[in-house]
Amino acid sequence: MVDTFLIDYEEVMELTACSVPVLFILQPGCDPEQDLRKLALNHNTTLTSLPMCQGQEQAASSLIKFSALEGHWVLLSNIHLVPSFTRHLESIITTALNDASLSHKSSYSGVDVSSMFRLFVTTDPSTVLPIRVLQRKLKVCLELPTGLQKNMLHLYSKVIDDQLLEQCKHPQYKDLVYVMAFLHSVLLERRNYSTLGWNVRYVFSQSDFEASVATLCTVLDNGMDSMHGEQLKYLIGEVIILRTLINSPSTPIG
């Protein structure tokens, strides 16, 4: 069991095998997909993500079979939305993905499983999974940090890297990235105050922050004047952030 908001995904990788899927138990606002894509890139493989919903069971099975043969990685998101698939997943784990330590070649539906294959699954904390699924998986609990400082540290350790900071050469870019990181952290922290913070428990995700930074970079690259400044405030404040809000009294975020 790995339980921290500063996950070392390389460490997680060392604990897995083609026969040991990884179960991510997610709190609202958490999503490991981007980190897994970076990890897959570092390991010279590809990650295919499939959001689960009713009717996707066959597609998921086919994807697992193909990826097991090719040595690719698979991320099945939100399996709690398809309770019936968890029983099929149990079958895959207990009979199809045989323990590689017992055989040099694991097999799935008659297909040899590459040692590079990895299966990742996400669910919410309330999902009841078969006991065999839980026993055979590496379980990783992801939750957002609490406290303004920890939220900022999380962004700067996991999201704001050198590549992001160098993608725009405008002299104010790095300062504005810090401002947006601070704003994003404040939005997250306000959830701790229940209805005093928000009338509804909103989820502000890492994707919202990344979209804001991408928008900032585009506007700055095009030469930001007073008009573009208003456009930037509208795109980030109204389109990206406030699109999440469904209750009008929540709208004043300043």
* DSSP reduced 3-state for 42: helix
Q: Return d(Cα 205, Cα 241) in angstroms, integer.
A: 10
pLDDT value of residue 99: 42
**How far apart (Å, rounded) are the C-alpha atoms in residues 176 and 169?**
12
Q: Residue 154: its pLDDT value, please?
A: 84
Q: What is each CA distance from 173 to 62, 148, 158, 224, in whole angstroms? A: 44, 22, 19, 11
In terms of C-beta distances under 8 Å and separation of at least 24 residues, what long-range contacts does 210-219 make, across chains too?
Answer: 210/34, 210/159, 211/240, 212/180, 212/184, 212/236, 212/240, 212/241, 213/164, 213/177, 213/180, 215/240, 216/168, 216/173, 216/176, 216/177, 216/180, 217/167, 217/168, 217/173
**Cβ 197 vs Cβ 191: under 8 Å:** yes
The DSSP 8-state label assigned to residue 204 in this structure reads -
Please give the model's pTM, rounded to 2 decimal places. 0.67
C-alpha to C-alpha distance for 4 and 26, rounded to whole angstroms: 11
Q: Which residue has the tokens 């294959």?
A: 117
Q: What is the set of domains in the chain, with CATH numbers?
A: 2-142 (3.40.50.300), 148-250 (1.10.8.720)
For every residue of 90-149, DSSP letters joined together read HHIIIIIB--TTT-SSEEETTEEEPTT-EEEEEE-TT----HHHHHHSEEEEE----SHH
Q: What is the pLDDT of residue 118?
A: 92
Taking residue 181's Cβ as centre, other Cβ atoms within 10 Å add up to: 21
For residue 84, the model assigns a pLDDT of 78
* Residues 48/160, Cβ–Cβ less than 8 Å: no
Distance CA 116, CA 251 (A): 47
**Dihedrals phi, psi of 17, to nearest 5 degrees:** -155, 175
- Among candidate residues 43, 41, 48, 94, the one with its CA nearest the CA of residue 68: 48
Are residues 189 and 151 in contact, defined by beta-carbon separation less than 8 angstroms?
yes
Q: Give pLDDT tens digits along the chain (254 positions).
A: 444 456 788 888 888 888 788 888 887 777 888 889 989 999 999 999 999 888 888 898 889 888 888 899 999 998 888 877 877 777 766 555 554 433 444 555 555 678 899 999 998 886 666 666 666 677 777 777 778 888 898 888 888 988 899 999 889 899 999 999 999 998 888 877 766 656 666 677 788 888 899 989 988 887 766 556 777 888 887 778 766 565 544 444 54
Which helix (H) or strand (E) element contains residue 47? strand 47-51
Distance of CA 111 to the CA centre of its chain: 29
